[in-house]
Every structure is written in structure tokens, then in C-alpha cells.
Structure 1
């Protein structure tokens, strides 16, 4: 008898994956693809939308041929801040513009002077001023610079909803995409911001659809329940929300280290926004207060600097163990190690340190992590609130014992865990529509935890 599964498309900037996940949330099949990027009309690199569309159809066709699986439902998660503009026939009208594309300064000034200024819009939409990363600004730009194309737009869909549209033919909008640093959503009023209706954009977004809902659709003669699609950062939070009720913060570490607090719905202040705080939306429509630092990127840059200075291979640092003696020596050598960070900084103190201060590469690396953790604790405290008992660290730093021990030492009143969920974004995307394909209760053992204390003691939890 074929095994019941859900098909999940997980589309990142680099890798595009299709997973089949069974009723116990085991990944039973994986297919991966990478595409050559294309360029828009200005010569800017962007996603190859036609390759992506073809890949969705080809991948789905292929897994439908697998007799051992019975696909009950389909859902999608992708990176955010990217719109696909469709005409009446469902054909894309433009390239999928890169969210890192430079935003015209004059157009930016025009927008904010019309609608009350950067500070006002930023506060009301819980979005730092990020140019094209504020996806609403992309749509505003299209209307102002290419009105003839804007007039032809039937649907402006964020990328997850575009992939859903490919199967369902329905234009839908979803709160996890609309609510994530887009400048489209008024968090205080819990509705589209007034500038969105003033510019006539709402009608382009399609039907507002709950992120945990699905619609019936037919593909190649088979009927499925198809989800509306999710923003990947919000999807990665779902396994934790499904497994833990005690208030927690998820520290997602990669190039960016993003602290997500789904138990903090306080309105962002102007000061917090200027310190790279923002709000995400989780799939049930609640605000998730978040802060972020570029620490993963800094770690890679400074690791190379240390490796070159001490003539060591960078990969060797992955195997370094926590050395409490080195940390004590550094406390004597660098007195500010004992001082709590009191001001926001885009970088840690380490880029300005003279590497000649350190006797060994190991000592320099421990100082790098000390500096990054100090910066991280400041960022964490921006979104911590009373009642948070645990911090879960996933991603690269969660596998770094030096980082984990130092973080636990820096916040001894909160339990610190390294956590891992195999393909958290995809598992979360499947959990969002659990009731549409799975008759079993959601499992409570999806997440593996490793506890760290300031006493250099770790246990499996």
C-alpha cells in the first residue's frame, strides 16, 4: 500500500528542493535543483522564473510516477521580499526582480514625503527602511516607473503564493509574506496600511487567505489539497511552536543571526527599529518580534583573517573545543570582555582588534566568539520579555561548542539549547497544513535539543 505523504517545495536563493514527508514527519524523498540566474532589463542578476516554473511542474510529474507514495497535499515555502506580477492569463509580466536591487533615491523621497516620513511608516509597518527588501516598495516602483505594465497586473503575488498559483490557479495573499518587512501591513490596525489602498494595490494581491488553510486543486488528473505557501523564516518557527508552549526565543543562525520571539507582540519603538529590529508574522497571524545582526557573515570574514595571520587552514577551527582557561586568560588580557555591551553596533569589536595581541589562533578565535556573543546578547535583549525561559539556537552557531558555552554563560538566567530540526522550514511548511493531509496527531519529538550551562556541562534533552 502506498505511503501517504505531503510534497513540500522549499525554494531558497541557491537551492530549490522538493521533499516528500510522511505522516510521522520523516523525509522519505528529496530532489534538489540549482538554476543559472538570469538578468533583468537593467542587467541586474535575478531569479530565472521560467526555470523555476518548469522545475515545479517537472518535479511534481516525476514524484507522481513513484508508486510507493500517495501524495495527499502540496505546500510551498520560499525566501521573501520577491513579487511575481501576472497578467490576465497568469503569465509573468516582468522578471523576478532581485530584492537587493538598488532603490532609486528620488522615488524613495517621493514616497516617504507623501505618506508621512520614514519614521512614521517604519513604526506603523514594523519594517526597517530597507529599499527593495521592503517588497511593497517594489510594487510602488513598478506603478511609478512602468505604469503601462502595472495596469496589466491582475495579481502581484509573493513568491510562495506564485508557486501555489501554478497548481491552483488562484491568486492568494498570505500574512507570513505580507507581514514580513514589506511596509504593506499596519501592525497596530492589523490590516493593510492606508498607503496600500491609496495607491490601489490591494486589488492586485488576490484573496487574503489563512496560512494554515488549503484549497483543492487538480494536477495531471489527481486531486490534492494545496497550501497557500509560506515565507521561509515563519515556516522554520512552526516546529517549535508545535512542540513547545513555554515561552522561548528561537535564535536562527546563518549569514544573519535572527532572534525570533513569538511571545512578544509589543509594538516596535523608533529606537528598536534603528537597531535592526522588525516584526515577522507567524502562520496564525500573530506578530513575532525579531532582531538581527550580520554575525554569521562577520564570523566567516574574521575567521579567514585569523587563519591567514596564523597560517592555519580555516576548516580546522570547526573542530576547536571550548577552552575555559583561554577565556579566563582573555578576561585578564582584555578587560572589556567583562563589560556588558550597552549600545547597538552593526559589527562586533573584533574587526578592530590587532591580531598580534594573541599568542595562538585558538586564543584569537575564542576572542572572536566572545565579541560576537557580546553583540548577540545585546541583540537578544532587544526582543526578550518577561516569561521567556529558553533560547533555542539553530543553524551554524548551534553546532559551535565555544559559541554555545559562552552564550549560556552570558545569560545564566535563561536555559540555552542547541537545537536541530532536519529541514525545519520544510517540516514547518508541512505542519502548517497538517489537518489537510494527516490524520495522526503532530509528533512531539521533531526537535533534538542539547543543553548548555555556564558550567561547561552538556546533556541530551
Structure 2
């Protein structure tokens, strides 16, 4: 008997993956591809859309022929902030522009002057001013700079919905993409922002469709339930929402450390926006308050500085154990009041520290982690609200014992767990349409947890 599975396309900036996931949420098959980037009309690097499209069709063609699996459903998750502009035949009219592309200053000023100013628009759309990373501004730019091309656009689809469109032929809009730092969604009114309506963009979006819905489709003579696709940050939260009802914050750590609180729907304040807070949308259409710091990047830069100063290889620090005695000594060495709190939203205190204060590389590294944790706690507190009992830390810092111990010590009123979900984005994307392909209850062991307990906190 073939194993019933769901096929998930998980498209990152670097790796494009296809997973087959069985009814117990075990990954039973995986394939990965990397494409050479192409360039847009300005010579800027961008995703090769044609390679991506071919890859979706070729991969699906191959796995659908595998006798050991029966594919019941298909869904997609991709990075956000990227539109595909389609003509009336469903063909892309432009390259898939890179969201890191510089935004013209004059056009930016014109836009914000016309629609109420940066602060007001940011508050209404729950997003900092991010240039091309606000995908709504990409679309506005296209309309203003290339009106003849704009007239040819039948649909503007965010990337996850474009991949779904390749199979279903249905143009849809999804709240996890529309609601995430796009400037398109008015969080106070819970609808498209007025500027989107006035500029005539709404007519180019697909039918607004719930993120947990699917439709029956045929591909090469076989029937599947096909989801509408999800923004990857929202998808990664779904395994936690499926397994835990007690309010929690997910601290997703990598180059950026993003704190996601799906239990805080308070509107963003101007002060929070200044400190790089924003709102995501989770797949049931609720706001997820988030704060972020560039801490993974800072860790790597400062680790290089420590490694060079003490003539040690940087990789050796990965295996350092938490040393409570060393940590207690640090407090007597470095006065804390020299670093103002409000600077924490951009960097930690460590960059200003004199390394000759520390006897050993181990001591300096403990101080680096402690400074990053203090910055992290400051960032966390921006989005914490009463009732949050747990913080789950996934990604790189979740595997760093020193970081985890110091975080547990720093927030003694909240339970701290290192958590890991193998391929969280793909698993979350499968869970979003669980009911249409899986008759089994959702397993409660999808997430691996390691608790940093009170005994450990008390040193």
C-alpha cells in the first residue's frame, strides 16, 4: 500500500526544497535545488522565475510517479515581500524583483507625503518603513515608473500564491503574505489600506482567501487538494499553535532574532515601531506582534573580534559550557550603567567593551552572550503581555547552552525552552490544511523541547 502524503514546496532565498510528509508528520522524502540568480532590467540580481516554475512542474511530475507514495495534497511556503505580475494569459510580465533593491528616494517621499506621512502609515499598516521590503511600495513603483506595463497586469500575486496558481490556475490573495510588512493592510480597519484602493491596486489582487483553505485540482490526470500558500515566517509558527494553547512567545534565532507573540493583538505604538517592532499575520488572520534585533549577525562579528584577540579558532566557542562562577565574576568587573537601554534596539553593549578587561577568551565570550541576552530581553519585553508563560527558542541560539542558561536567569518569571521542529516551515504549511488530507489527530510530539529549569537558573 502506498503511504498517504502531502507534498510541500518550501522556497527560501537560497534553497528550494520539496518534502513529502506522512500522516504522522514525518518527512519521508526530500529533494533540494539551488538556482543561479538572474538579473532584472537594471542589472540587479534576482530570483530566476523560469527555473522556479520549471522546478515545481518537474519535481511534481517525478514524485507523482513514485509508487511508494500517494500524494493527497500540495501546499507552498516561500519568503515574503515579492510579487509576481501576470498578464491575462498567466505569463509573468517582469522579473521577480529582489526585495533588497534600493528604493528611489524621491518616489518614497512622494508616496508618504501623499498618504499621511511615514509614522501614520506605519502605524496603520503595522510595519516599519523598509523600502522595497514593503512589497506594496514595489507595486506602487511599478505603477508610477511603468504605467503601460501596469495596465497589462491582470494579477499581482505574492510568491506563495503564484506557486499555488501554477497548479490551480486560481489567483488568490492570502493574509499571511498581504499582512506582513507590506504597507498594504490596515490593521485597525482589518481591510486593504485606503491608499491601495485609491491607487487601483485592489483590482489586481486575487480573490481574498483564508490561508487554511484548499481547492480540488487536477495535475497530469491526478486529483489533489491544493493550498493557497503561506508566508514562511507565519508557517513556522503553526506547529507551536497546533501543540500549545498556553500563551507563549516564539523566539526565532538566526541572523535576525525575531520574537513572535501570537497572543498580543494590541495596536503598535509609534515608540514600538521606532524600535523595529512590526506585526505579522498568523494563518487564522490574527495579528502577531513581533520585535527583532540583528543579534545573530552581531554575534558572528564580535566572535571574530574575540577569536582574533585571543588567537583562538572561532569554531571552538561552539562547544563552550556555561560556567556559573565565571558569569558571577563578570558582574563585579563591568559597570552596567554606562550603556543606555534605548540603544539596545540596534546593538548590544559588547561592541564598546575593551577586550583587555577579560583574562580569557571564555570570559569574554560569556560577556558577549550576556550582553546579547540583555538586548534580547529588552526586545522581548517590547511585545510581552500579561499571561505569557513560556518562551520557545528555536534556531542557532537554542543550541547555545550559555545563551539558554543566561536567558532563563534573566526572565525568571517565564519558563524558557530550547525548541526544535525539523523543517518547521514545511511542517507548518502541511498543518495549515491538515483536515483535507489527514484523518489522524495531529501528533503532540512534533516539537522537541529542552527546559532550562529553576534549579539551573539559581546557579
Q: 2:345 touches 2:379 (CA, 8 Å); kept in 1?
A: no
Q: Deviations over 1:254-306 (max 9, x none)?
A: 11000000000000000000000000000000000000000011111111111
Distance 1:283 1:47 in 2: 26
- The 1-side partners of 2:104 and 2:134 are apart by 13
| 1:7-156 equivalences in 2 (<5 Å) | 7-156=7-156
- Give the equivalent residue in structure 1 for 2:415: 415
Task: Confirm or deny: 8 A CA contact 1:21 1:28 kept in the other structure.
Answer: yes
Residues 1:174 and 1:296: Cα distance change in structure 2 (over 3 Å): same
Deviation, 1:457, is 6.6
CA distance in 1, matches of 2:271, 2:457: 37
SS at match of 1:17: strand
Distance in 1 (alpha carbons) for counterparts of 2:401 and 2:136:
40
Whether the aligned pair in 2 keeps the contact of 1:254 and 1:395 (CA below 8 Å) is yes
Write the distance in 2 (CA, Å) between the matches of 1:403 and 1:342.
Answer: 22
1:417 is displaced (CA, Å) by 0.3
8 Å contact kept, 1:128–1:274: yes
Counterpart Cα distance in 2 of 1:342 and 1:73? 48
Cα shift at 1:250: 0.3
2:169 aligns with 169
SS at match of 2:17: strand
- Determine whether 1:362 maps to 2:365: no
8 Å contact kept, 1:123–1:268: yes
CA-based RMSD of the aligned residues comes to 1.4
- Give TM-score, length-normalised by structure 1: 0.98
Tell me if structure 2 keeps the 8 A contact 1:331–1:338: no
Q: Distance in 2 between matches of 1:104 and 1:81?
A: 17
Counterpart-to-counterpart distance in 2, 1:328 and 1:286 = 42
Q: CA deviation at 1:217?
A: 1.1
Between the aligned partners of 2:415 and 2:266, the Cα distance in structure 1 is: 23
Measure how far apart 1:86 and its partner are: 0.6
After superposition, the Cα gap between the structure-2 partners of 1:456 and 1:342, relative to the gap in structure 1 and judged at 3 Å, is farther
Calculate the TM-score normalised by the size of structure 2: 0.98
For the pair 1:252 / 2:252, whether they are aligned, the reply is yes
Q: Post-superposition, which runs of at least 4 consecutive aligned residues in structure 1 deviate over 6 A?
A: 337-340
State the secondary structure of the residue aligned to 1:73.
strand
Deviates more, 1:356-365 or 1:403-412: 356-365
Residue 338 of structure 1 and its aligned partner are, at CA, apart by 11
Bigger mean CA deviation after superposition, 336-345 or 436-445:
336-345
Structure 1 segments unaligned to the other structure (5+ residues): none
2:272 aligned with 1:293: no
Q: How many residues align?
A: 458
Q: Secondary structure at the match of 1:132?
A: helix
- Alpha-carbon distance change, 15 to 337 in structure 1, aligned in 2, over 3 angstroms: farther
Structure 2 gaps, min length 5: none
8 Å Cα contact 1:409/1:453 also seen in 2: no
What SS is found at the alignment partner of 1:429? helix
CA contact (8 A) 1:330 1:337 kept: no
C-alpha contact (below 8 Å) 2:412/2:457 kept by paired residues: no
Distance 2:119 2:300 in 1: 33
Q: Residue by residue, what CA displacement relative to the aligned partner does 1:298-356 show, whole Å, maximum 9, x if unpaired?
A: 11111111111111111111101001111111111112189994554301111121222
Distance 1:441 1:430, change over 3 A: same
Q: 1:337 to 1:441 in 2, by over 3 A?
A: farther
Q: Is it true that 1:213 corresponds to 2:203 in the alignment?
A: no
Q: Whole-Å Cα distance in 2 between the matches of residues 164 and 338 of structure 1?
A: 53
- Residue 222 of structure 1: aligned partner: 222
Inter-partner Cα distance in structure 2 for 1:337 and 1:177: 42
SS at structure 1 position matched to 2:345? coil
Shift of 1:189: 0.5
